[in-house]
Amino acid sequence: MEDKKKVLILNGQYLPGYKGGGPIQSCVNMIENLSDRFDFYVLCADRDYKEEKTYNGIKINMWNQVGKAKVFYLSPEKQTLNGFKKILNETKYDLLYLNGFFSPIFTIKPLLLRRLGKLKNTKIILTPRGDFTGGLENKKVKKYTYIFLIKLIGMYNKLLWHATSDIEEKDIKDTFPKAKVYTVSNLPAKFTPKQAITPKKAGELRLVFVSRIFPKKNIKYALETLKQIKKGKVIFDIYGPMEDKTYWAECEAIIKEMPHNVTVKYCGEAPHAEIPHIFEQYHAFFFPTLGENYGHVIVEAMMNNCLCLLSKGVTPWDDYVECGNFVCSLENKQQFVAAIQELLAMDVEDFNMHLALNNAYIAKKTDITDTLLQYNIMFNNGI
């Protein structure tokens, strides 16, 4: 039997981490679904995003078996150019798979080594993980300057690109017109329909936000929208890492101005394993994001009997309109207000009808037969 090809994935965080958001789950799902075709190795940091303590129960600067992958947890003092040069040139692999266009350590350093001729000759696939999709507006002077400079020195030349949506493919081509791009959707977890456990009464609504507290995720917009809801009882709970405290201070100022019928609470961070149970406790996930290349958190909401209220034109989920009027333009806040009022008015029968549409939709969207074939083609062409 022919040996399986080896894919080395570089990502800032991996299991048991969860604060790095969707890219962790993207890698986990990819490995779990493709491990019968490829051998996967993961190189990542020895701690979660912005954490000072290392993960418990791992061997640092050594290979660990984690699920279906071998994982090397790199300590900070090894995350230098020389550290990457050593491990990348000593490890046997057929393809290098980089996550995040702007990742300063786990993307930029390996590409710089390649540009300096210090990295062994290998094919590289880079997936931006949403860094272009709604992400360039944050620190945009710094980011556009970086793009200008790396184009001058050709640091991203002769890469293969992995876009996970048509939106992301367009963003890549707009920035790098000659890029060779494979557009293959992220792989979701397996969908198993569940019994709804949160009753719905007309005039009452439980909304939730689960994501990083960060401008791109647009929680401030959600709060400004809820401020306009003057009738009905609304609970809005917020979960996620406090990534931008200045931005959150602006959000807190809006929370203080909420009408008496809208209750807002920050519930802190939640480990990934708790996310499905969290979504089960709410009627809808309010997520007016500025851009998602995929949005694993959206999928997890849909899979756990939570309707989704989403931004139009900036995620791959615009056809969720099949389930109701829940995909709205960020340019028209009144569309979001109207959607919330519609959700408020639903009784249990109407809500369950929408949940049935939601479940049929996500069951169709999580059929991965063709997607697995596309990954196989992308990886084999990369190698």
- Can you give the pLDDT at residue 92? 95
The count of other CB atoms within 10 Å of the CB of residue 137 is 11
Nearest to 189 by CA among 368, 41, 316: 368
| Stretch(es) of the chain classified as CATH 3.40.50.2000 | 5-187+368-382, 204-365
Please write the tens of the pLDDT for every residue from 183-214: 999 998 888 888 888 999 999 999 999 999 99
Residue 147 CB neighbour total at 10 angstroms: 17
For helices 219-226 and 333-345, the axis angle rounded to 10 degrees is 60
- List beta partners, residue 43: 10, 72
DSSP string covering 22-35: HHHHHHHHHHHHHT
Question: With 0-12 CB in 10 A as exposed, 13-18 as middle and 19+ as buried, what is 146?
Answer: middle
Cα–Cα distance for residue pair 247/224, rounded to 1 Å: 14
Say if CB 207 and CB 235 are below 8 A apart. Answer: yes
- Lowest-pLDDT range, 1-5, 7-11, 226-230? 1-5
Question: Does the domain made of 5-187+368-382 have the CATH classification 3.30.950.10?
Answer: no
Percent of the chain with pLDDT over 70: 97
User: String of b and e for 324-352 (b: at least 16 CB within 10 Å)?
Assistant: bebbbebeeeebbbebbebbbebeeeebe
Tokens of 154: 């050709």
Model pLDDT for residues 296-316, shown as the tens digit of each residue:
999 999 999 999 999 999 999
Task: State the chain's mean pLDDT as an integer.
Answer: 93
Residue 135 has pLDDT above 60, yes or no: no
- pLDDT band with cut points at 50, 70 and 90 for residue 383: low
> Quick one: angle between helices 245-255 and 219-226, nearest 10?
0
Of 26-35, 46-55, 126-135, 194-203, the poorest mean pLDDT is in: 126-135
pLDDT digits (tens, 9 = 90+) for 159-177: 999 999 998 999 999 999 9
Angle subtended by helix axes 81-90 and 108-115, to nearest 10:
80
Give CA–CA dist 51/44, Å, rounded. Answer: 14
CA distance 53 to 17: 12
Residues 6+ apart with CB under 8 A from 94: 5, 6, 7, 122, 123, 383
pLDDT at 1: 47
Please tell me the predicted confidence (pLDDT) of residue 134: 61
Do residues 298 and 189 lie in contact, with contact meaning Cβ atoms separated by under 8 Å? no
**Residue range 204-365 in CATH 3.30.70.980:** no
Residue 351: pLDDT over 90: yes
Q: What is the spatial distance between Cα 349 and Cα 355, in angstroms, rounded to a whole number?
A: 10
Q: Which amino acid appears at position 278 of this protein?
A: I
pLDDT (average), residues 67-81 = 97
Q: What is the mean pLDDT of residues 54-66?
A: 96
